[in-house]
Each structure stands twice: as structure tokens, then as C-alpha cells.
Amino acid sequence: MPHPAVAEAKPSQPLTLHGLSVEGVDRCVHCGLCLPYCPTFSELGTEMDSPRGRIMLIKSLAEGRIKLTDSAVAHLDLCLGCRACETVCPSGVPYGQLIEAARAEIERQRPGGLLRRWFRWVNFSLLLPNPSLLRLAAAGLRVYQASGLRYLVRASGVLRFLPEPLRHWEPLLPDLPSGPDRAPVPEVTPATGARRVRVGLLTGCIQQVAFGPQNQATARVLARNGAEVIAPRTQACCGALHAHAGEHETALALARGAIEVFEAAGVEHVIVNTSGCGAHMKAYGTLLADDPAWRGRAVRFAASVRDVSEFLAAEPLRGPLQEVRRTVTYHDPCHVAHGQKIRTQPRALLAQIPGLRVVELPEADWCCGSAGTYNLTQPEMATRLQERKIAHVRATRADAVVTANPGCIIQIVQGLRAKGSPIQVLHIVELLDQAYGNPSPRPSPQSGEGGVPPSPPGAEGGVLPSPPKGERAG
Ligand code: SF4
Ligand code: SF4
């Protein structure tokens, strides 16, 4: 039921939070059609943890009729930002924009204690925008992982005595690549055969240090499909994590930086292989709409951004492609499926790989609980959603899960490991790279513990029917 105070509201000024428009709240007609598609509502069944409840909260906050209490913050913080509600909303409520504005307001009004502010400053202002500092931090983490210290920490049980967030964070640390896998993507990768286009590649912030092999595979696959790939050394973070976490000013600065770098590279498209970054960069026009000096450049830049699957699926893959005899299932990252409305393209690419058997994953577009930094800040709900995803993955009997976002890879790998499952987790570009005859994907630590033999055709767990949306996994 709508909150009575909300129903009476008649604002005369444009509704904003932290200077960001939330006028989209008025499009909500409280129909509730989005409720069965919302993972947190599905898990908890409480109105205030549904899209409709959160929209009411945001509207009431913007109208100044409620204060940002602990309870209001908790309901907003528990939102994954997955935007599944946006996909199904018949009124076109721009939910992603609303929750970003609400988060910026939370950070303004409730920045938290000294330790939290320091921690956010280190991450959002120091590490993420500075690739060289990020590489230094990664070197320290690599020593922790390679020296055996991590093994000791895990085996000794000392994690149990760490404060709550750290206890959950340690197992989520990605295994950092070593040796040649650490090498950055070349600044220029020439097209194989006739060049049809010159593209830029976002190599990312965390992506650059933790997912180097996936970046390298992306450049190789693009090149095999006629793209000259430019990966500018001067690029930094795109600002997606900042925008999602309420760090609005830094997000603006990083967006301007990304536009400058790729404009200077003279590329026709900017290719992205991380879902949150792609969705965010496609929204630069909205982000910089109030800045007359940047508005036009931001709109042009946003129009040039392509998810890697979207770009590759625009034309048939160039051959020859080798057989890949295995059974895989595909998990849709939220910001690819809901944020960019890309669903058919990854499946169309998989269908072109000879020998590959693809089984549909029930609730394929249901959030896995990763959601940017959500699995770090909301470990309980993240674990519930992770377990739900893993149960569906295992039921398919596939020997690998293919997806298109590093955050999902980390979350699903960790969930599978916790169950002792040998199922591999791969970025779609790794599988395509393999079809082009490259040794990748080797059984990398990032990808789980290695595959199992492919299921024979017709084996139990083939193509499973999807349960109705909103129903709890069995
Ligand atoms: S589907 Fe759209 S209009 Fe209906 S309650 Fe959800 S957000 Fe509001
Ligand atoms: S973004 Fe996701 S978690 Fe948040 S309200 Fe919408 S469906 Fe629910």
C-alpha cells in the first residue's frame, strides 16, 4: 500500500536529492508489477525492501517529509542496484538513476565514522582513480597469496576472530594473475586480416590488475573480427563504482577523464567487457547533462560505447572457429541484461561455436549477489543470492558457467568453491578465444578448479524450464 503521506504530496519544485533529479519517482503508479522480480523482496517479502517501497522512501526524502533514519538507510542500502525492476516497469521509472541519487544523499548526510570515511577515501579517492597505486596494492596482495600467508590465514581459522566485514571479504579476494597473464594489453593490437574498424578498449581499474587474461582475450577476439584495438595507457577508472556508491563528484571527474582519453585515441567505438562500467558509460550523457561544457561530448561518447558481446554479435563471427566440445550455461550480469538490455547477443555468439552445447540457466538474469561492492557491504543478502544462483547452476549439470562480468565471476567462483564444485566460470571472451585456437582458457584460479567432462547429450539436467519469476529457488 502507498504510504499515506506520499499520496498527499504535491511538490512544486523539481524533485532532487544531492542536486540530482529524482522526478522519475512520480512515474510510479504503485502497481506492484516489479515486486516478483526484485531479489530482495523475493527473499524478505517486506514492502520497504521492494522497488515500490524504496521509490516511496526516495520520494518522501526528496520532498523533505521524512528524515534519513537508520531504518531508511538500511532499506536503501539493501538494494542491489540490479535494475531488474526497471526492466519490467510499465511506467518507465528510471530506478537506477533514483537509487544513485539516494546514495549520494546518504553519503552527504550520513558519511559515518572516521574509520568508514578513511576506508572510503582510500578506495574511492586514492586507489581506484590511480592505476599505479592500484598496481602497487595488487603487488602486496600477490605476495599475500603467493607466499603462503593466505593459506596460513585460512587454515589457522584466524579469520573467525576478524571483525564481521573482513571475515567475509577475505574469501572474495580474487586470485591475481601472475607471470605473462599480468602483462597489460598492448596499446595497439592490429586487426587480423582486413581492418573494418578502430576501437578503444576499456581495460578498467580492478579489471586491469585482477582480470588481465580476460582483457587480453578480449583484444585478441576483437582483432580476429577485424578490429584494430587501442588500449590507451593513460586511461583510468570509469567512475561506475563511485556513482553506485554515492561518490558523485569523483564519478563526474572520472567520466570527463575517460571521455578525454578515448576522444584523443580517435576510435569509433569504446568496447567494455565489464557490465557495470558499460552501463555507466552509456549514461555519461545523463551524468554530465548539467555541465554545458561537457554535455555534447558526453552524449557523443556514450553513443560510441558497446558491450563486447553487443559489438561482436552485430556481424557473424569471422572464422575459422575450432570445435569446443563442452556443455555450458550462461548467467546474465544485471548491468548487461537490465542496465543495457543485452540478452540475445551473448547467446547468439555462443551458438556460433562449433561443438558447444548450451543449456539455459533458470533465473539466468537474477542477481548473483555480487552487485559492485554489495557482496562486501551486505554479506548476508549477498550470500543468500549466491546460494540461490549456485543451486541453479549445479542443476544444469553444465561443466562451465559463462558470463560477461568480472564481479559475477568472483561471486560465482566463490560460491562454487564453497560447495566443492568443479564447475568452471568463464568470461564469454575466454570461450571465444579458445574457439579461435588460443590456449586460454587454462584452468585459471579465477575460473574455479577446472572443468569436468562434458555431460552427454540428453543427460539429466539438460535444458531446464525456468521457474516463474519471483519464486524462491528450491
Ligand atoms: S512496476 Fe513501476 S510503476 Fe509499478 S510499482 Fe514498480 S516501479 Fe512503480
Ligand atoms: S534494483 Fe534490484 S534490488 Fe533494487 S529495488 Fe530494483 S529489483 Fe530490487
The closest residue, in CA terms, to atom 8 on ligand 2 is 38
The closest residue, in CA terms, to atom 6 on ligand 1 is 34
Q: Which ligand is nearest to the CA of 46?
A: 2
Task: State whether the beta carbon of 270 lies less than 6 angstroms from ligand 2.
Answer: no
CA of 97 to the centre of ligand 1 (A): 15
Q: What is the DSSP letter of 354?
A: T
Inform me whether the pLDDT recorded for 152 exceeds 60.
yes
Burial call 334-346: b when 16+ CB within 10 Å, e when fewer? bbbbbbbebbebb
CA of 80 to the centre of ligand 2 (A): 6
Question: Of 25, 29, 42, 83, which is best to mutate to test ligand 1, by the most ligand atoms within 8 angstroms of its C-beta?
Answer: 29
The pLDDT assigned to 46 comes to: 97
- Please tell me the distance from the alpha carbon of residue 214 to that of residue 345, in angstroms, as a whole number: 18
For residues 438-446, give the mean pLDDT: 53
Structural domains in the chain plus CATH codes: 4-109 (1.10.1060.10), 321-462 (3.40.50)
Give the ranges where 305-373 is alpha helix by DSSP (H).
Answer: 308-312, 334-337, 344-351
Question: Of 30, 47, 59, 469, which is best to mutate to test ligand 1, by the most ligand atoms within 8 angstroms of its C-beta?
Answer: 30
The pLDDT assigned to 3 comes to: 47
Each residue's pLDDT tens digit, 392-431 = 999 999 999 999 999 999 999 999 999 999 999 999 999 9
Q: How many Cβ atoms are within 10 Å of 462's Cβ, its own excluded? A: 16
* CB neighbour list of residue 418: distance below 8 Å, 6 or more residues apart: 171, 390
**DSSP conformation letters of 33-89:** TTGGG-HHHHHH--GGGSHHHHHHHHHHHHTTSS---HHHHHHHHT-----HHHHH-
Q: How confident is the model at residue 165 (pLDDT cuts 50, 70, 90)?
A: low
Phi, psi of 403 (to 5 degrees): -145, -170
The pLDDT assigned to 377 comes to: 86
The closest residue, in CA terms, to atom 7 on ligand 1 is 28
Q: Are 314 and 196 in contact (CB under 8 A)?
A: no
Q: How confident is the model at residue 446 (pLDDT cuts 50, 70, 90)?
A: very low
The pLDDT assigned to 234 comes to: 92
Each residue's pLDDT tens digit, 295-342 = 999 999 999 999 999 999 999 999 899 999 999 999 999 999 999 999
- Please tell me the distance from the alpha carbon of residue 306 to that of residue 311, in angstroms, as a whole number: 6
The closest residue, in CA terms, to atom 2 on ligand 1 is 89
Task: State whether the beta carbon of 101 lies less than 6 angstroms from ligand 1.
Answer: no
Each residue's pLDDT tens digit, 215-250 = 999 999 999 999 999 999 999 999 999 988 888 899
Minimum-distance ligand 1 atom for the alpha carbon of 31: 4
- Please tell me the distance from the alpha carbon of residue 163 to that of residue 183, in angstroms, as a whole number: 35
